[in-house]
Amino acid sequence: MKEKFIPLLREHLGSEDYRPQNKSELARALQVASKDRAEFRDAIVSLERSGEIVRGRKGRFELPGRSSRRETVTGRLECSPDRKRRVVHFVPDDPASHRAFRGMQWPKVFVPAHAAGTALHGDEVEVELIEREPPRWHQHANRNRQGRKFEEEFWQAKVIRVLTRSEQGIIGIFHGKGSRAGLSPDDLRFPPSFQLISVLPDAVPGDVVVAKFHDWTDPGLMPMAEMIKVLGREGSPGVDILKVIHRYGLPIDFPPAVLAEADLIEEAISAEEIERREDWRDREVFTIDPEDAKDFDDAICVTENEDGTFELAVHIADVSHYVKTGSELDKEARKRGNSVYLADRVIPMLPEKLSNGVCSLKPNVERLTHAAILQFDATGKMTASRFASCVIRSHRRYSYEEAFAVMMLSREAIAALETEKERSLGHHLKRAWKLASMIRERRFENGALDLDFPEVRVVLDEKGKAVGVKKSLYDESHQLIEEFMLSANEAVACETKNAPAPSIYRIHEDPDPAKLEEFADLARSFGHRVGDATHRPELQKLLAGIKGKLEEHSVKLALLKSLRRAAYSTDPLGHYGLSKVNYTHFTSPIRRYADLVVHRVLRKILSRRHEETAPETPDRTPIVPEMSEIAQHISKTERVAADAEKETQQLKMIEYLEHVCAEDPEATFDATVTDVRAIGAFVELNELLVKGLLRREDLPPRDEYFFDRPRKQFKSRSNRPTLTIGQRVDVRLHRVDRIRGFVDFVLA
């Protein structure tokens, strides 16, 4: 039996003079008879699975922490969505803690499948890093980009223990019953089946259910889970979105204590509160928002002076007046981090009483604001700023489409509008765009990158089924609001940076030069000339050159992927994409917790100066360690929200494609090839912006196309078009993998 060898192995590996040995060397050292070798190997496997011993280079074993070439590091485990070839990586919490991660933009370390033990995707784990010997050819290789890539592969990790299990819901199909009840997860990053130790009474085999992890002690056995919710049958209305909500752990309902606190808030503003604030109720303040928006964070008012200078007032909903630090509302908002805008619903950061009610800057009602009042010279350069607590009464609510239509009118056409109010607001919009266009031109002169994208959203019917699409162009009405919000955010960042108070900043660090060079290679494959991609004017020149071309979306997306991800930080590191030295988030406190914190910090700074513009007693603001923790947390919730939003849009877009093709099986779509690999040609539909794959085996006719690896092309043996990056093709929908969100096309 293997048990008799376990204490012998423990004693041998723990001895002072022990040096790492492989299985054969251990067997010889312990004089294991040939007939007992199988049990001896089982004992080694058992100790390795439990983490008592670890496997090092060349299969040699030792106790954890004994080797000078190993260190333990904590981080998160990531598994690939492929059960046939499971690939596991370790992502460190603190990349600077180990030399293995230096110079890596997205540090990851390979974890052999046998070394993952019972850790699951998303678990927080402690690993040992093992440095492997590089192959001989690499010792003489040049240290170029490719060499660096191979260098990173010389490290691998072994999971020592699971620190905390991921709280991600396990969503899948319920099957079996009794002791054989199980769950087959939709998420292919999980094992193929979980044993259910508890089943809800209303669950029926075949239902889509949510479970939470219970236990997993042996990699040779199934992990165990508890069923916590039944979502319904696959294909039933709304089930697809509910699966995404639970997979990402998004909160649907507010706790009773939070709702009770919100109910106590009075909608009417007291005369005393109005008296303490600057009164802008008679000034022509108005909002511009998406057509379906209900939470209006911001309103604007632009004045042009006789000398050609401007005053811009950016009024932001004063959420901090209603949501106090440490309250139930504040704790829930901090936990959520931000609102989430899914394809069929909004999951708000604040209860509807605030988000769509007392905080929303609706027209013709009194609302409290925190305003950034900015002065600009006649060329659009900001010359001064001040901040004030105000009360407004919005004169009108424009949708972007409505505002754009008025902005495109001539002054004569505006003068012919029916009412004096509409005429005045029309001229106001013209005045606002005059200022915004100068600010925008100045921003791009300073090096900002034009990474705005047209947005395509799915139109749903009353049952949540995709029945159409709506494309939103980034026109002048969007640009107007963007420039004014950027200006307000920059002004606030300058104010908080120069004050002795910790705050939160929106940062976008400089990109990795190697990533930019890879992007430049891609842009060249579309036929564009690109010089030094680390030189900002070169990127601006390229972005201007692709404007209006078919490949514009693909090239912009590739550039975005080559940049680092924007995040929140207590250090004002600047924003690369916007080309701003100082930047924060101030303009959306209804839907972002970062903005709410910044409002409190700003009010505290102003109160220290005893300015009349900050009449309220300021809330407590976090000290640096707590502020840093908040910044990390809301950076994470923002990423989760973005991924969930993207996934629901993809689900519904695929549903719409299937709807179109069901009505017309021969429907074709105009597409552009965005990448070519051995597996096939990746394409993007030019109108719907849906990505998919022309698989190699689906290219007609059989053996007609062959892959030219050096040129990254699929060439035809006859006169059919070559499939290369930038090639425009007509495609038809071929197959859909709803679980993985994959779409395959075929040439039409």
Q: Which of 586, 589, 162 is nearest to 358 (CA)?
A: 589
- Bridge partners of 567, per DSSP, are 507
Sign of the Cα torsion 24, 28, 33, 39 reads negative
- Express each pLDDT in 544-570 by its tens digit: 998 888 778 788 888 998 999 999 999
Contact predicate 423/414, CB 8 Å: yes
- Express each pLDDT in 279-325 by its tens digit: 999 999 999 999 988 899 999 999 999 999 999 999 999 999 999 99
SS (H, E, C) 338-356: ECEECCCCEECCCCHHHHH
- Bridge partners of 432, per DSSP, are none
- Express each pLDDT in 200-255 by its tens digit: 999 999 999 999 999 998 888 999 999 999 999 988 888 999 999 999 999 989 99
Mean pLDDT of the chain: 88
Q: Which of 489, 545, 540, 536 is nearest to 513 (CA)?
A: 536
In the chain the first and final C-alpha atoms are separated, in Å, by 64
Question: Does residue 532 or residue 314 have the better pLDDT?
Answer: 314
- Looking at residues 56-65, what average pLDDT do you find? 75
With pLDDT > 90 as the criterion, what percentage of the chain qualifies?
A: 57
Residue extent(s) of CATH 2.40.50.700 domains in the chain: 170-247
Task: Give φ, ψ of 372 to 5 degrees.
Answer: -105, 115
Contact predicate 288/400, CB 8 Å: yes
Global pTM? 0.83
582's enclosing H/E stretch is: none
- Express each pLDDT in 655-704 by its tens digit: 999 888 888 888 999 998 888 899 999 998 988 888 899 999 888 776 78
The fold of 2-62 is Arc Repressor Mutant, subunit A (1.10.10)
Residue 434 pLDDT > 90: yes
Residue 102 pLDDT > 70: no
Find all residues with CB under 8 Å of 676, minimum gap 6, and list them: 682, 707, 712, 713, 714, 723, 724, 725
Task: Look up the CATH number of domain 70-164.
Answer: 2.40.50
Residue linked to tokens 């991800």: 565
Contact predicate 715/705, CB 8 Å: yes
- Looking at residues 100-117, what average pLDDT do you find? 75
CA 65 to chain centre: 36
CA distance 369 to 392: 7
Residue extent(s) of CATH 2.40.50.140 domains in the chain: 664-747
- Note the pLDDT of residue 138: 47
* Chosen CATH of 170-247 out of 1.10.3720.10, 3.10.620.30, 3.80.30.20, 2.40.50.700: 2.40.50.700
Domain 664-747 -> CATH class: mainly beta
148: pLDDT confidence band, cut at 50, 70 and 90? very low
- Note the pLDDT of residue 616: 63
Lookup: tokens for 278: 């600057």
The region that residue 386 occupies, defined by phi over 0 for left and psi between -120 and 50 for alpha, beta otherwise, is: beta
Find all residues with CB under 8 Å of 629, minimum gap 6, and list them: none
Find all residues with CB under 8 Å of 99, minimum gap 6, and list them: none
- Note the pLDDT of residue 67: 54
- Note the pLDDT of residue 521: 87
> Which stretch of 33-42, 175-184, 376-385 has the lowest confidence by average pLDDT?
33-42
SS (H, E, C) 188-257: CCCCCCEEEEECCCCCCCCEEEEEEEEECCCCCCCCEEEEEEEEEECCCCCHHHHHHHHHCCCCCCCCHH
> Which stretch of 159-163, 171-175, 641-645 has the lowest confidence by average pLDDT?
159-163
Contact predicate 288/338, CB 8 Å: no
- Note the pLDDT of residue 589: 98
Find all residues with CB under 8 Å of 266, minimum gap 6, and list them: none
Contact predicate 534/513, CB 8 Å: yes
Residue extent(s) of CATH 1.10.10 domains in the chain: 2-62
> Which stretch of 130-134, 139-143, 743-747 has the lowest confidence by average pLDDT?
139-143
Task: Give φ, ψ of 215 to 5 degrees.
Answer: -165, 155
- Express each pLDDT in 509-531 by its tens digit: 999 898 999 899 888 888 888 98
- Express each pLDDT in 486-503 by its tens digit: 999 999 999 999 888 899
Contact predicate 127/97, CB 8 Å: no
141: pLDDT confidence band, cut at 50, 70 and 90? very low
